[in-house]
Amino acid sequence: MKVQFWGVRGSIPTPITTAQIQAKIQVVIQRITAKDILSLDAKEKFLASLPKSLFGTVGGNTACVELITNSDSSFIIDAGSGIRSLGKKISSKNNPIHIFISHFHWDHIQGLPFFDPLFIPNREVHFYSFMPNCKDFFAEQMKNPFFPVSIDAWSKNVHYHYIKPNSSFKIDGVEICAKEMSHPGNCYAYKFQQGNKKIIYSSDVEINHNDFNDSLKNDVFFKNADALIMDAQYTLEESFEKENWGHTPFCYAVDFASGWNVKKLFLFHHEPTYDDKKLHSMLQSAQWYNEYSVDNKNIEIFLATEGTEFDI
């Protein structure tokens, strides 16, 4: 299975600002030496040596993750603003699209009015969620005066599927299960398993002690996942100030991944007030925390970054 990040921010789209770009350029200029500009090769080596926080950006679109299965099926998890660019990529294809909604807060559905495949006549699209009336929520954000085109313009081949929590079902050989997590208004994590490979998406969750319980449900859902894409929006200090807001500090995400023997952890749903430098410092802190504080030292920890792809 292949995964690509199209939107990784939480709460609201956060485009990089002019001031942030200028700050990056200033720091890069200060690092340049005479030998770095002697040749094209030297320039390329210099650019390659720059940290990711300077030579690139984490991205500003809200939550959207693409999962391509071994049989080339297209699964999309959440429909934040990142789904717009994804729609441009797959609009020319004819295969069915499967979209899984974790919950209906605006930052997880706001991209749907701009998702091109929905406006292609007879394009087959399937929505999966824990709300039987999810179509009504989609229609609401496209009503006048909020949007100039109504949901009636969507393909007539759109289908809505209610997911029963903790019950598994299969699509093209992939076993899928949803589990309710702690978040205001409810939110569901998704497990995707194909063969012996397991990927879990768990955005918008405030980890609590129940999530660490060695129960059969938790064990089957979380244990030995190959990849966990998880809400890690806050530092520990900020999480104390925002208790019950429904998000997790990065150190708890590391503890959680360690407790369930996860192989790869992707910190996700980034705080909109954090810039690239702050987010990369959180990644480094998470890696240090894993090295010195938890039992499972073998977890690989990454920062979910727009455009990044990885295989499981």
Please tell me the pTM assigned to this model: 0.94
Query: How confident is the model over 225-258, as pLDDT tens digits?
Result: 999 999 999 998 888 888 888 889 999 999 999 9
pLDDT score for 107? 96
DSSP class per residue in the chain: -EEEEEE-B-SS--PPPHHHHHHHHHHHHHH--GGGGSSHHHHHHHHHHS-TTTSS----PBSEEEEE-TT--EEEE--STTHHHHHHHHTT--S-EEEE-S---GGGTTTGGG-GGGGSTT--EEEEES-TTHHHHHHHTTSTTT-SS-GGGS-TTEEEEEPPTT--EEETTEEEEEEEES-TT-EEEEEEEETTEEEEEE-S----GGGG---HHHHHHHTT-SEEEEE--B-HHHHHHTTTSS--BHHHHHHHHHHTT-SEEEEESB-TT--HHHHHHHHHHHHHHHHHH-S-TT-EEEE--TT-EEE-
Query: How confident is the model over 185-225, as pLDDT tens digits?
Result: 889 999 999 999 999 999 999 887 777 777 767 888 999 99
Task: Domain 2-15+57-311: give its CATH architecture.
Answer: 4-Layer Sandwich (3.60)
Average pLDDT score over the chain: 93
Query: How confident is the model over 258-310, as pLDDT tens digits?
Result: 999 999 999 999 999 999 999 999 999 999 999 887 676 789 999 999 999 99
